[in-house]
Amino acid sequence: MAQMKCWLLRFKRFFEPNEAIKFPEITYSFYPVYAKLYDIPYQTVPLKDDFSIDVEGMCESIGGVIFPNPNAPTGIALNLNEVESIIKRNPNQVIIIDEAYVDFGADTAVPLTKKYPNVLITRTLSKSHALAGIRLGYAIGSSELIEGLERIKNSFNSYTINRITLAGAEAAMKDDIYYDQTLNQIIETREWTKQELEHLEFEVIPSQTNFLFVKPTKITAKELYETLKQQEIYIRFFENLEDYLRISIGSEDDMKTFVNEVTNIINSIKV
């Protein structure tokens, strides 16, 4: 189903207007937007000092829980024991886990859907399959949860998925050899970039996604962002996280160009 409509559908179907849900304080910006759209109260749970999701804080929710694993924009993933702890301590609420970036190194919680009928896993072909243009995602969960989505989906997504989209998605998901090669290359390039930035004295948060969350120490994040933009190198700067930047991992050549430009900028400060 189309991804944005799919998310609207999940908020509408599984969360109630009079019961507060929980999600991380630093995560996707559309969570509070959709909650407000449907008058769903919510509690944001601050991240821990290392930017990981606070497992304890996500427990005992009144209305349900939703979180990405790995989280964005930090790139940090919970392990399965931590995910299961959240599930166990919210036994009567729907737990939605967004696994958009899980293929870049994290453990999937899909096996837990067989053990816990209140768990819904959402996936997308936009990230690891590089098919953002077709806007296709899917959900994995108990028959009861999937039936709940089916009941009201046509009210939100009245346009069926076309044949070209389905054919492209099917071909991408069957091509395991190419898929594994590209994933391994992205992970390898990510780790190389991480090491290079650490040599430049950046603080780099361990990532299990196709991006890095970093803090420069010899230049402000905003200044580096603006300087790179002048060179037509685009990274993400967040006003509410002004010390940090999110850097997407491109090709090996792209990242070498990026690192070289950052090195030049840092060296120019020393002079």
Tens of pLDDT, residues 4-30: 445 555 565 677 778 899 999 999 998
pLDDT digits (tens, 9 = 90+) for 60-102: 999 999 999 999 999 999 999 999 999 999 999 999 999 999 9
Residues 149 and 256 in one domain: no
pLDDT digits (tens, 9 = 90+) for 253-265: 999 999 999 999 9
Mean pLDDT over each residue of the chain, to the nearest integer = 91
Supply 38's token pair.
């449907």
Number of domains the chain is built from? 2
pLDDT digits (tens, 9 = 90+) for 105-149: 999 999 999 999 999 999 999 999 999 888 888 999 999 998 888
Give the Cα separation of 79 and 89 in Å (integer). Answer: 16
With CA atoms as reference, report the closest residue to 217 among 245, 191, 239, 259.
Answer: 245
**CATH number of the CATH domain containing 147:** 3.40.640.10
With CA atoms as reference, report the closest residue to 99 among 126, 70, 79.
Answer: 70
CB half-sphere exposure, 40, CA atoms < 13 A:
26
Instruction: State the residue range of the domain holding 199.
Output: 177-270
Residues 264 and 214 in one domain: yes
Helix, strand and coil in the chain, % to nearest 5: 45, 15, 40
Q: Note whether 132 and 2 are within 8 A (CB).
A: no
pLDDT at 143: 93
